[in-house]
Structure 1
């Protein structure tokens, strides 16, 4: 509001019911509609040495997050030398500027991708930490731009100093791999490896016309997650042809849906364990109570 007053806009106009007030001292013509818009609105009043972190930074980088993480709360961190950000709709933190890399993402100051992922350790569980790490390690599909981070950078970050929830972040880093193109694919891998299956290869191309989301090459066995995009008639026809091609190549693939993964994860894990064993791949004995179950 201070900038608006300096430009000659009256205080009465700024109190108009036609303007949205997402934060104290901020007025917008329209209310923010998503997490990125909330960040841009808050940036108009943010301290110059502060930066977006946690879920806010993750959404700015495009990292997948569970729907349970609200987008209308901004997560902001300031150096230890200054006050912690506070206010309605603000979750404030403090950081050591000597140990945190801040990047400029357009007009916004944001924790680097690696530092963003570390800051997510405060609030995410193992499957979603792995999904966020996989995203950071995987170049955008069809783009020539490099990935946001490398596996070496990820492992270096969790090993170089003490961090909040360090054991969980180190475990998540041990699962992370470049390649998965969706959050559910990462969740599938965490579930299956925690259930004793060997680590699968993500997005393995077994022919020019067939790629498996997860694959165990020695068993010629794979798994495909079918998202909502597979409901269209065109995609359904492609899936039928692809299924036949996989069989012709002497491979087998289990197709699962959102319902399978999130409502019947034990059934999925036990079925994959069984098929891998039948095909000569050793699986570790793990009690079903130890399976890491993902949440939608």
Structure 2
């Protein structure tokens, strides 16, 4: 197997005497969607923010293509090819759809701009090409304030692609979306992973989405990694079932629904 794009080793973070993340390790390869899941308080957000540089790691290593990310600022990590979307979509509501993407391109290129001067001429074709990939080119000249929430999430995805990321971090990408919208967004993300050969690490509470679209899953509980593997392995893992449900319940119904969503059944679910 090829060398992983992302290698996380013995990663940890404490707040006072509480170990929010306790020495976890995992890999992520190009062309792969990896879901980071766990119950509330498991350490998912802390892990996510350490990979992104928003929180300094207390211990361990995070390598992206062999380059250490620990100790780097979020902007420096972004420039190395790490994109991010947020649980609450981050866009400029007063700007048009295409101007939002152009602002991201300006930032990536390190260009200075004036708030009094329109960015409408800067790499418009490139911005439109990104919007085409997420199905938003037809709405390029509409203000973001007029968009439905699902469309705002698509614009945010186009913005995250402005630095041609090798790794895309998606924090609760389908939060606040209707079932049809969230499945459309994750299907789009899956296609971008295939087309661009990038990797995606995402957190998600909707288990039907996770089982339908993740290639692999890692599960945290109380800051520790308790399981990792393909969706079927996680579905049948007794420790994971215990953490989520206690005894007597399983992921079976969720997995069946996920198979219907993704159009697959059996071992490929």
Fold equivalence (TM over 0.5): no
TM-score (norm 2): 0.30
TM-score (norm 1): 0.28
Higher relative contact order (Cα pairs below 8 Å, separated by 6+ residues): 2
Larger Rg: 1
